[in-house]
Amino acid sequence: MAVGIFAISAFSFFNWLNTANSWGLQPATIRGISGLLTILIQAIGIYFSMTATSKIQNDIITYGQAFKAGLTVAIITALITAFCGLIYCTVINTGYSDYMVNEAHKAMAAYGKSPKQIADDLAGIKWQFSTVGQVIQALVAQTVVGSLVSLVMAIFIKSKKTSS
C-alpha cells in the first residue's frame, strides 16, 4: 500500500514544489522520478518478504521460495499501484491527463518541434497519460520490474546451507 500512496502523493507534492519554486522541471520528468522511487520501495518490500519467509522456515529458503515471495510482492504492488493510479486519475485529480498532455505540448513547442511533429506525438502522449494508460503501465511495469528484482535478489537470499 505504501507504494501506491507514495506514487500518487509524490508526484503531486514534487510537482507543487516545482511550480512553487520555479525549478523548471517538466511534469513528465517528475512523474518518471517518482515512478523510479516506487521501484526502490518495491525492492525493499521484496527483500523483507524474502527474509521474512526465510525466518519462518528456520533461515532455510530455496531460490524458488525466495522468488515466489518476491513475485507475490511484485503482483500485489502492481495491483495496488494500478488501483491508486485509477483513484488518482478519476477521483483525486480528474484533470491529470489533460494537464500532462498540455505540459507535454508546451515542452515540445519549446523544443522547436513542428506542429505536425507535435500532433503526431500527442496521440501517444494522450494514451500514456490517460487513466487506462496509467493503470496498464502500473500493472506491467511493477510486475515486470518486481519479477526481475525478485529473480536477482533470490540469488543472494537463498540459503547457503541445506536442511537436515
The mean pLDDT of 66-76, rounded to a whole number, is 96
Say what the pLDDT of residue 152 is: 97
pLDDT higher than 90, residue 34: no
Range with the lowest mean pLDDT among 29-38, 45-54, 61-70, 104-113? 29-38
- Give the pLDDT band of residue 76 (cuts 50, 70, 90): very high
Check: CB of residue 28 under 8 Å from CB of residue 126: no
- Give the pLDDT band of residue 161 (cuts 50, 70, 90): low
The mean pLDDT of 2-6, rounded to a whole number, is 68
Q: Which residues contact 29 (CB under 8 A, 6 or more apart)?
A: none
Q: Which helix (H) or strand (E) holds 130?
A: none
Summarised one tens digit per residue, pLDDT across range 82-110 is 999 999 999 999 999 999 999 999 999 99
Mean pLDDT of the chain: 90
Closest to 134 measured CA to CA, from 5, 7, 2, 6: 7
Measured CA to CA, the distance from residue 8 to residue 51 in angstroms comes to: 28
Cell 527474509 locates to 51
- Give the pLDDT band of residue 18 (cuts 50, 70, 90): confident
